[in-house]
Structure 1
Amino acid sequence: MGRLAVAAAVAAWAIPIAALVDSVVPEPYMDEIFHVPQAQQYCRGDFSTWDPMITTPPGLYYVSVAYVASFFPVAWMSRAAKTFDVLCSTAALRSTNVIMAMVCSVLVHDLLLCIRPGIGERKATTYAILLALYPVHWFFTFLYYTDVASLAAVLAMYLFCLKKQFWISALFGAFSILFRQTNVIWIVFFAANGAISYIQDLYPKDNASHENSEPKHQSNKVVSGKDNKIAAQGLRRRRMNSPISKGVVISESTKLYNSLAEEVWDISLKLWNSKCKIFIAFAPFAVVMVAFVAFIIWNGGIVLGAKEAHVVSPHFAQFLYFGLLSAAALLPWHFTPSRVSDLFHLSGKNKTWSSLAVLMGLGLSFVAVHFFSIAHPYLLADNRHYTFYIWRKVIQVNWMMKYLLIPFYVYSWFSIMNILGKSQTRVWVLSFVMSVALVLVPAPLVEFRYYTIPLVILVLHSPVIGNGKLLALGSLYAAVDLSTLVMFLFRPFHWEHEPGTQRFMW
């Protein structure tokens, strides 16, 4: 029932808004001028023609062809070119992402129930609908971009990895690379943490000994002998049958280790001792990685086209932008008086370590902002993106502003890591931070679309909040969505090309 409710709720607003967008903006918009003609080439059965300006693989075009052909198989089989061109119109191609948005929401719903079994159907449904309204994801639901389908493939990969169906997970991982090459980082992230979870299941005594030590100690004060044994067994049974038992084991497992180094050493030892079993279980992911490396060697790089505009760059400031944007987009988790108070109270417990961590964070952030802030030509030229105005009106409004934002960057990342650390192991948090860095730092162009996948992962692993905060955040998202839609539909952009420049004007 939850899945059906989520899909119906997303379809209820996505379908009419998509129809409105198609009626007001029927022609390809922004990067659609590359994606739509390329997909239409595939609709004609021409799979050899390729636009050199397209940087991503053709996964979205394959999905669109299959999607359209499923409704009109006769036209596809007969290769009625003119008829099929009409069927692969801009509106029809855009509708691919409307379907993908519904799939994303259902996958978020299932992932929440898998990661947090105690959350309940109603709360999982609410969260899934809320994420469907996240402004960046919401906006590109109505355009023919790769982002929504890419998110769907990554979430499907994660879901099947959690269910330990590794062949299916790896298959979706390979499919996700066909939408965006950087998804290979999330394949490694999910596979690595899946392997760690796998070996924890192979060594249950380590968790059980810690889990049962405290209850047995307490039970000795009340009962003894045979009663003590029965009570301990009953408690163990209740914990194993509890819907939140997995979450309890995960959160308590962080207490098994006194430091990150001890945790890494113990996990490495277990991985080495079980290397044969791990290799057999996770061989599908290894096959995908080998194929991806072969692709990079064959292609001469990670991007397909426009390589000169997408050169790998040390854009460390991008990592900081993600932290602030994600914390701001998830206000009830990060920017509330109680949250600020909790972080200050936590830092007061170990002032020396906290002071060193803050100073190191501020120093590294200053270096990243001062030496590794990149203004890509696309960022400066295209005023159809929010990043165009944020860069000019906020970050570059004066020379001091980019430095004044540093404390907010540091606070955001400390808040993110602290929240994740409450439910995940130190290794999991570290691997997530490293994955975000590997995805974002090499990208010279600031694009909020690149932040969507890690932001969704953040929500999936953040504490459950009350209905009031969810309603407030949903209202904020809806307000931003509505204002974006109004600007998009009623203040259309016009592209003015001047000699030697590319400048977009209202």
Structure 2
Amino acid sequence: MLRSYYGQFLFLGIYTGITLWIFHQVYHTSQQVIDEEFHLKQGKYYCHGQFDIWDGKITTLPGLYLISAFILGPFGACSTYALRLISLVASIANVCFIFSIRRMVTGIRSERKVHLECMSLSILPPLYFFSHLYYTDVLSVTTVLMMIFASFKGMHNIGALAAFVAILMRQTNIVWVVFVLGSNILNCAMTICLANKKSSGKEVQRYGMKSLITSVETIIRSPSIVITILRRCCSLYLGYILNMIGFVIFLLYNGSIVVGDKTAHVAAIHVPQIFYFTIFFAIFSGSHIFSCLRRMLRFVRKKWYITVLCCALFVVIVSKNTIVHPYLLADNRHYTFYIWNRFYGKWWFARYLPIPIYFGVIVILGWMLLGNSGQQNIALSLFWIAATFVSVALQQLVEVRYFILPFLVLRLIQTSVRVSTKLLVLEFIINVIINVATFFIFATKTFHWANYAEPQRIIW
């Protein structure tokens, strides 16, 4: 047993050592980065027990600050260094969850390819960078991964508790609670409809599209089975349901999903965000893109009429639904500012040029999620699609951090695409190079804003 975990322990040790060294370098380079201006101040208030003070510019619930107060408050360790350590420790926990979830999904404990894939996901550049700062993102990922892990283990009370904390971290995490609850209910329904007596509810099911169709036919023939499904689901997943009810009450009371400055984050349908996500996926999932490239090109050649129709539709969507948030144009401390101003927004035709890439990646995502190999869990796929659309396509601001959870969850749950060891090594190396370049730019590229004394730096 220990031998099967040797690779994980070795990587975890190396990861911790290198990350801690980089953490020190980042701390000595800058002790306040962009939105840390608000997070650090609020975290220190809570850490010192001043729970009655709240900065109205903060738009998330106080999960990060409450956890900081719970862990650091008793020791009086409320410095910037200590607060940032919360993210570093959370990133180490993320490594463990990534390995554990991927093993459960694949059913493989020690295969080299599983280790390589988990190593690559653990250093996903946008997520890894924020492991060194006091932002909500890393701990938000931790709580969502904990919820998914507990759900896959059948420990739904713990999963429901993790869901509650995940919502406290970021309200938008409610979509991942729906992902967990909905996929569990659908899997439970298929188990009952298919009379799968071998299922214990403590393993990741392999129900595919055929199982879903058979289950629907069973319900149509015997509608009374729905009562059995509801009874079972209410018993097993009550904790998640209570989280959903609590969130609806919060929405009714608050009048919006956003707390604080609601004007800066107004929800709107912004479908091109899905297209931007495909670029994100292509950059950080080279192993899967290259594995499916030939198959995708054959599809484009043989189904050329579908390709033409979809690309024409994408042109219309880009033309009519592209939203340019004021923050995107104003804040030159983010990579998205430079991508937009030097490409998408520079020439009128530039935003249409990547459309073939959007289509190609969407085709690949379709195979990953809805492939007929019989290996991919259809419930996880369908609710991933729903959760990703809601969490990404309802955001006006183009923000790389919005893509982290959809990306990670997809890579963790997919089983349809098999990749080679060489491609996974290449993906890992690319992630390392991007991380090195990101930290180099952060450390060396500075500029000044009129209303800030300290130099500003570029981050994701």
Match of 2:411 in 1: 459
User: 1:465 aligns to what SS in structure 2?
Assistant: coil
Q: CA deviation at 1:260?
A: 11
Match of 1:277 in 2: 232
Match of 2:448 in 1: 494
AA aligned opposite 1:343: M
Q: 1:203 to 1:264 in 2, by over 3 A?
A: closer
Q: 1:455-484 deviations in whole A, cap 9, x for unaligned?
A: 011211343423221211111111111111
Does the 8 A contact of 2:190 with 2:212 survive in 1?
no
Match of 1:222 in 2: none
Q: 1:302 aligns with which of 231, 252, 257?
A: 257
Equivalences for 1:137-176 in 2 at 5 Å? 137-176=127-166
Equivalences for 1:284-363 in 2 at 5 Å? 284-334=239-289, 336=290, 339-346=292-299, 351=303, 355-356=305-306, 358-363=307-312
Q: CA deviation at 1:154?
A: 0.4
AA aligned opposite 2:411: V
Does the 8 A contact of 1:39 with 1:65 survive in 2?
yes
Match of 2:350 in 1: 401
Q: CA deviation at 1:489?
A: 1.0
Match of 1:370 in 2: 319
| 1:24 equivalenced with 2:14 (yes/no) | no
User: 1:56 aligns to what SS in structure 2?
Assistant: coil
Q: 1:276 to 1:35 in 2, by over 3 A?
A: same
Q: CA deviation at 1:5?
A: 3.3
TM-score by length of 1: 0.81
| 1:106 equivalenced with 2:96 (yes/no) | yes
Measure, in 1, the Cα distance between the counterparts of 2:214 and 2:276: 29
**Larger Cα Rg: Structure 1 or Structure 2?**
1
User: 1:250 aligns to what SS in structure 2?
Assistant: coil
TM-score by length of 2: 0.88
Match of 1:385 in 2: 334
Match of 1:59 in 2: 63
- Unpaired segments ≥5 residues, structure 1: 77-83, 209-239, 241-245
Q: 1:8-48 deviations in whole A, cap 9, x for unaligned?
A: 2321211010011111212x110000000000001221001
Q: 1:129-150 deviations in whole A, cap 9, x for unaligned?
A: 2212111011111111100000
Q: 1:203-226 deviations in whole A, cap 9, x for unaligned?
A: 454799xxxxxxxxxxxxxxxxxx
Q: 1:315 to 1:485 in 2, by over 3 A?
A: same
Match of 2:52 in 1: 48
Measure, in 2, the Cα distance between the counterparts of 1:257 and 1:274: 14
Match of 1:449 in 2: 401
Match of 1:230 in 2: none
Q: 1:173 to 1:269 in 2, by over 3 A?
A: farther
| 1:429 equivalenced with 2:381 (yes/no) | yes
Q: 2:122 aligns with which of 129, 132, 155?
A: 132
Equivalences for 1:218-237 in 2 at 5 Å? none
Match of 1:440 in 2: 392
Q: 1:250 aligns with which of 206, 222, 226?
A: 206
Q: CA deviation at 1:359?
A: 4.5
Q: 1:171 to 1:258 in 2, by over 3 A?
A: closer
Does the 8 A contact of 1:157 with 1:173 survive in 2?
yes
Q: 1:159 to 1:420 in 2, by over 3 A?
A: same
AA aligned opposite 1:368: I
Measure, in 2, the Cα distance between the counterparts of 1:9 and 1:257: 43
Match of 1:200 in 2: 190
Greater length-normalized contact order (CA 8 Å, ≥ 6 residues apart):
2
AA aligned opposite 1:288: N
Measure, in 1, the Cα distance between the counterparts of 2:367 and 2:437: 33
Identical positions, percent: 28
Q: 1:332-363 deviations in whole A, cap 9, x for unaligned?
A: 211x2x623212445677x4xx734x355324
Q: 1:430 to 1:368 in 2, by over 3 A?
A: farther
Measure, in 1, the Cα distance between the counterparts of 2:391 and 2:177: 12
Does the 8 A contact of 1:97 with 1:148 survive in 2?
yes
Does the 8 A contact of 2:175 with 2:390 survive in 1?
yes
Q: 1:33 to 1:420 in 2, by over 3 A?
A: same
User: 1:49 aligns to what SS in structure 2?
Assistant: coil
Does the 8 A contact of 1:362 with 1:410 survive in 2?
yes
Does the 8 A contact of 1:6 with 1:106 survive in 2?
no
Match of 1:477 in 2: 431
Match of 2:105 in 1: 115
Measure, in 2, the Cα distance between the counterparts of 1:54 and 1:275: 39
Measure, in 1, the Cα distance between the counterparts of 2:10 and 2:119: 9
Q: CA deviation at 1:487?
A: 0.9
Give the superposed CA RMSD.
3.0
User: 2:450 aligns to what SS in structure 1?
Assistant: strand
Match of 1:468 in 2: 422
Does the 8 A contact of 1:185 with 1:435 survive in 2?
yes
Measure, in 1, the Cα distance between the counterparts of 2:360 and 2:246: 39
Does the 8 A contact of 2:442 with 2:457 survive in 1?
no
Does the 8 A contact of 1:311 with 1:444 survive in 2?
yes
- Unpaired segments ≥5 residues, structure 2: none
Q: 1:92 to 1:425 in 2, by over 3 A?
A: closer
AA aligned opposite 1:495: W
Count of residue correspondences: 445
Q: CA deviation at 1:323?
A: 1.7
Does the 8 A contact of 1:250 with 1:424 survive in 2?
yes
Does the 8 A contact of 2:380 with 2:413 survive in 1?
no
Measure, in 1, the Cα distance between the counterparts of 2:341 and 2:226: 49
Q: 1:259 to 1:391 in 2, by over 3 A?
A: farther
Q: 1:174-210 deviations in whole A, cap 9, x for unaligned?
A: 11011111100110111111112223333454799xx
Measure, in 2, the Cα distance between the counterparts of 1:399 and 1:268: 54
Q: 1:259 to 1:201 in 2, by over 3 A?
A: closer
Does the 8 A contact of 2:33 with 2:456 survive in 1?
no
Measure, in 2, the Cα distance between the counterparts of 1:482 and 1:135: 9
